[in-house]
Amino acid sequence: MSDEKTLTGQCLCGAVKLTIKGAPLRMAQCHCKDCQRASGGGHMALAFFKSDDVTIAGETKGYGVTADSGNTNTRHFCPGCGSRVFGENSARAGIVGIPVGAIDQSGWFEPQAIVYAKDRAAWDKTSTDIPNFDTMPPPPPASK
Ligand SMILES: [Zn+2]
Ligand SMILES: [Zn+2]
């Protein structure tokens, strides 16, 4: 009926599995210090989907931090291997951010923006041909 592709993903140990239907709403790379610590790399590459389009199987644990906006940003991970599998923000109900490296098929990923560019390390090159924001830009208008 639909020609939408189904994406699959998993954590490092395979105890948590992701199934994603539907296209990403937004794609971005985030250089904030929290993402650097959580990922152990220079940035996180994230694709945001409607939560209704994402199925997560397996147990996860969440760790929430208060973002600059005052909202709670919770990063969920596999308790067995520690891989990040999804994130959610208290200000954006119904949307989950998936770390693109957890997805098996990621050739479609094309970041639309770089956020927290102020925290970008000199050794971690990301595109300056797309909008770069020093912090988090205001969210797009809610579709109410
Ligand atoms: Zn795991
Ligand atoms: Zn970040």
Structural domain boundaries in the chain: 6-119
Distance 85 CA to ligand 2 centre (A): 14
Which residues are in the CB-under-5-Å shell of ion ligand 2? 30, 32, 35
Domain 6-119 fold = 2.170.150
Using the mean position of ligand 1's atoms as its centre, give its distance from the Cα of residue 74 in Å.
17
Question: Whole-model pTM?
Answer: 0.91
For tokens 């909202």, the residue is 71
Average pLDDT over residues 76-105: 97
Burial of 129 (0-12, 13-18, 19+ CB in 10 A): exposed
In contact, 113 and 30? CB cutoff 8 Å: no
- What's residue 1's pLDDT? 44
CA–centroid distance, residue 59 to ligand 1 (Å): 9
Write down the mean pLDDT value for the chain: 93
Does the pLDDT of residue 68 top 90, yes or no?
no
Which ligand has the minimum distance to the alpha carbon of residue 11? 1
Q: Give the number of whichever ligand sits closest to the CA of residue 37.
A: 2
For residue 107, what are the contacts with CB-CB under 8 A and spacing of at least 6?
none
Q: Which ligand ends up closest to the CA of 34?
A: 2
